[in-house]
Homo-oligomer: A and B are copies of this chain.
Amino acid sequence: MDKEDLRSLFLEVRAGSVDIDSALKVLRNWPTENMSFARLDHHRQLRTGMPEVVFGEGKNAEQIAAIMQRLAATGAVTMATRVDPEKADVVMAVIPAAVYHREARVLQLNRPAEPVSGSGLILVVAAGTSDLGVAEEAVITARGFGCRVETLYDVGIAGVHRLLEESDKLVEAAVIVAVAGMEGALPGVIAGLVDCPVIAVPTSIGYGSGRGGIAALLSMLNSCASGMAVVNIDNGFGGGCMAATIVRTGVELKS
């Protein structure tokens, strides 16, 4: 319902082809769809460029399946994050076309066959083996939105040469998503080496005073490196989504 639609509506009202009560109703009925337990926002893709994504935690498998079916009916990419394997099995029994990414815990429907041509490369970097679940959530999310994604795993700063020896890969990327738990220093080191934006994703991996990811989060927020911003702890989806949004900005400026 953008400005042009509004102008058309006024023209129709003036021409009498639309009566006033209908006009009022149109203005009231934004394109949301009210299910008993959810209110779908079909308009979101037009508005933000990203379709609505189902946050699977705290919803049961039946709810996830029902919402995904409605969202997928429009042909748009449809995803549900934070879905346990058990729930995923139930959803896939209902929607056989759904694909489940076990490590990332993401369900997808209507995902693009291959990346949108011309968009920049997203590089997802992870500090340790234990951070892979969050990193994969970022990977699957960005691929679902049609992005080209590569990965670089287990390059934490306890052996900084493991990272430096892959500097070619770092330099190629249009955006880097850097995932780390423990002291969370990896994104800052990377941001000091490259000229592209870095999205830092803290994870809850660790123990003692850092349990829950708070040490990694604070470390990333307080980094003295520039060209870097942070998303919530374990929010691989958020990291992948921000990277996709940035890369798309590049694509759009290009066209």
Chain A residues with a Cβ under 8 A of chain B: 3, 6-7, 10-11, 13-14, 16, 20, 23-24, 27-30, 32, 37-39, 41, 43-44, 47-50, 53, 55, 57-59, 63, 118-120, 127-130, 132, 153-162, 164-165, 168, 174-175, 182-185, 188-189, 191-197, 199-200, 202, 204-235, 237-239, 241-242, 245-254
Contacts and interface: CB of A to CB of B under 8 A. Distances in A.
Given A189-B157, A199-B229, A227-B242, A24 B47 contact: no
A72 to B, nearest CB: 18
Shortest 8 CB-CB distances between A and B: which pairs?
A208-B233, A49-B195, A185-B185, A229-B229, A210-B222, A58-B130, A215-B218, A39-B154
Nearest to A53: B226
A213 B129 CA distance: 26
Contacts of A238: 226, 228-229
Given A195-B48, A232-B207, A183 B219 contact: yes
A1 to B, nearest CB: 8
Q: How many copies does the complex hold?
A: 8
A209 B218 contact: yes
Contacts of A219: 183-185, 215, 218-219
29 contacts: A6-B27, A7-B24, A11-B20, A37-B153, A44-B158, A44-B192, A48-B195, A49-B195, A158-B226, A174-B249, A183-B185, A183-B222, A185-B185, A185-B223, A196-B245, A197-B246, A207-B232, A207-B234, A210-B222, A215-B219, A217-B221, A226-B242, A226-B245, A227-B245, A229-B231, A230-B230, A246-B249, A250-B252, A250-B254
